[in-house]
Amino acid sequence: MKIIIAEKPSVAKSIAAIVGANNKKDGYIEGNGYAVTWAFGHLVGLAMPEHYGIEGFKRENLPILPKEFKLLLRQVKEGKEYKNDPGVMKQLKVIKELFNSGDEIIVATDAGREGELIFRYIFEYVGSSLPFRRLWISSLTDRAIKDGFQTLRPGRDYDNLYASAKARSTADWLVGINASQALSISAGYGVWSLGRVQTPTLAIICSRYLENKDFKPQTYFRLKLHTAKDAVVFPALSVDKFVTRTIAEEVTAQVKAAGAVKVTGVERKEVKQEPPLLYDLTTLQKEANSKHGFSADKTLTIAQALYEAKKISYPRTGSRYISEDVLEEIPHLIAMLRSHPLFGAYIDSRFDTTLNTRSVDDTKVTDHHALIITEDPATGLSKDEQLIYDMVAGRMLEAFGERCIKENTTVSLDAGGVHFSCKGSVTLVPGWRSVFNFKDESNDEDGTTVLPALIEDDSLSIRDCEIQEKQTKPRPLHTESSLLAAMESAGKEVENEEEREAMKDCGIGTPATRAAIIETLFSREYITREKKSLVPTNKGLVVYLAVKDKKIADVAMTGQWEQALNKIASGEMDAATFHKGIEVYASQITTELLDMTFEQRDNRQSCPCPKCKSGNMVIYNKVAKCQNESCGLTVWRSIAKKELTDGQLTDLLMNGKTAFIKGFVSSKTGSTFEAAIKFDADYKTVFEFPQNKGGSKKRRSK
């Protein structure tokens, strides 16, 4: 009998139907010479330190570097203890009996690094020696499963993939266990969690948060001139920016005195915009977060459900390309969408020409090709499932669509020696942008507008010239979309699509694991959501400030480890060499964390929280923060370039107001002033000025 093992019961059911197994048993389905069984994800994992005889968190035990790693079946927490999961014990017993009675195993766990690890750990744990072959498919449609069974490959062909998966698993154990214990020992209180990928990801969030909060906006002024030609009114912005309103007013008078504005240059350029590449999981997660507010984990969950329902291809892919043989299926898949209410009109007007092949490259297809729909009709979907399906289907149409061709115009103008410019754009061929009827964003500070036909030396009347007061802005807080982009490029700011693709091997985490990493930060209570933004909690900031200069928080180094894991999977690197490097790294970070000075809670000044009344405000180097996570009141020490003392912060927290303080600096004028700091009704800090310097007028301080 051939034993097929799938990753989930739902997948096992689909496979069983294809191979003719329809006799349901307890833990498997039997028939036609097959027994189809399943796991529930990771049934087996690496044992914890206590299973090596190492109890508690003790400095003398670190670093913990097992010579041989032990496997343990999945456990559940009962009270304060962890015990074997009864459901896992039962299913493993079924799997072991089947493996002992079968002739061959067909591995049908998810075709990727983690799917391989799930099977190999089970195989090792139950002590099986059966030969096995691998089913490697990119969708669960009947045709894909049938084709996959025609091309089963020897299991040993995937030994390098398993070596990579095991190396990742043991590396995460070594770094996570040692770093977490070392930090907890150094702190002297509580249990603190650090991780190989978790901590650099937290560092990305916290560093952006602190950069944003510490940002000092600078005021500047710009002129906006309104003019017209042939009854078409349009604006132009001054090329120069002015540091004071006085200078801006002088230049405005100069412009108005000129009476007219002259066109000094018109540059027209035809721009061809290639269609975007197909989605991989990370790009889908980023755009679902930006467009629909979905978390990375929610998008993955929906995409996995669509995959298991046979509606889309395997979602945990890191490739944005398909191979030549998959290209042959695309015309049929596009034809299927003719009845789709969103895409039917576009398909009828477009797809009678050659497909764009920008997303076709056999050399760039990794374990799985990019996300596409399958031939199964998308019926019976929930609202959220329909949204994700439509994104995948629409992106497939865009990727194989025509270029979008535009004519961009840049106009230079002069009024009394003051230079202005404006930009216009006309779409000549909408191409792929017609799929969702994308419109260009306009009317932003340097955006495009509708322009009349302008030629050099045109003289136009000045209808108005206004002064715009602007402020420089910090980089925004990370959203899940921007965080995923930062993880993919190891924290580097990369806008170009091709450059991002080239950096994928150096990213932190993988498309399959990034959502789980972000969710771990939420579960550890290190971060929280404020609308779409990701914000560190008190606990998260304390951890980050403690380790931000340590190796454990080094995003680039974590990216290098991920690159090494990819090389192990491709056979370019030896797993043993990688493991030795991780042991050295784990030893280094353990020493760093044990030797550090942690900001002890009981060494910090604290007082009751004035907002929630139940929490405790602890004063740190840069902030005073409430320890009650549901409250999270934060008071920054630096206000208007003035550093408040511990005493002044205590006065504010205890009495709701400080004494009058000198030395605040105005962001507009740069002059110093005196004020008290107090809370408003929402517990935001505001200035209160002395009576002889503006009465009791209040103004937000931050």
| Contact status, residue 37 vs residue 118, Cβ threshold 8 Å | no
The residues facing 469 across adjacent strands are 221
CA dist 479 → 297, 497, 651 (Å): 13, 19, 35
SS3 46: strand
Catalytic position from the list 34, 314, 389, 585 = 314
Alpha helices in 400-531 (DSSP H): 480-488, 497-502, 514-523
Q: Which amino acid is at 124?
A: E
* CB crowding 172-210: b at 16 or more within 10 Å, else e: bbbbbbbbbbbbbbbbeeeebbbbbbbbbbbbbbbbbbb
Taking every pair of C-alpha atoms in the chain, what is the biggest distance, in angstroms?
Answer: 96
Residue 387 parent element (H or E): helix 383-399
Q: What is the DSSP letter of 9?
A: H
* CB crowding 418-450: b at 16 or more within 10 Å, else e: bebebbbbebeebbbbbbbeeeeeeeeeeebee
Q: What is the 3-state secondary structure of 506-557?
A: HCCCCCCCHHHHHHHHHHCCCEEEECCEEEECHHHHHHHHHHCCCHHHCHHH
The residues facing 489 across adjacent strands are none
Q: What is the DSSP letter of 312?
A: B
**CA–CA separation, 12 vs 674, rounded Å?**
72
627's tokens: 């320890």
Q: Is the peptide bond before 63 cis (omega within 30 degrees of 0)?
A: yes
Angle at 222 between CA 217 and CA 225, to 5 degrees: 155
| Radius of gyration for the chain, computed over Cα atoms and rounded to the nearest angstrom | 31
Q: Is the dihedral of CA 358, 361, 366, 371 positive or negative?
A: positive
* CB crowding 68-85: b at 16 or more within 10 Å, else e: eeeebbbeeeeeeeeeeb
Q: What is the DSSP letter of 379?
A: -
Residue 688 parent element (H or E): strand 685-688
Q: What is the DSSP letter of 318?
A: -
| Contact status, residue 465 vs residue 225, Cβ threshold 8 Å | yes
Q: What is the DSSP letter of 311?
A: S
**CA–CA separation, 17 vs 20, rounded Å?**
5
Q: Is the dihedral of CA 116, 119, 121, 124 positive or negative?
A: negative
| 314 is a catalytic site residue | yes
509's tokens: 């985490």
Packing angle, helices 198-214 and 538-547, rounded to 10? 100
519's tokens: 């969710």
Active site residues: 314
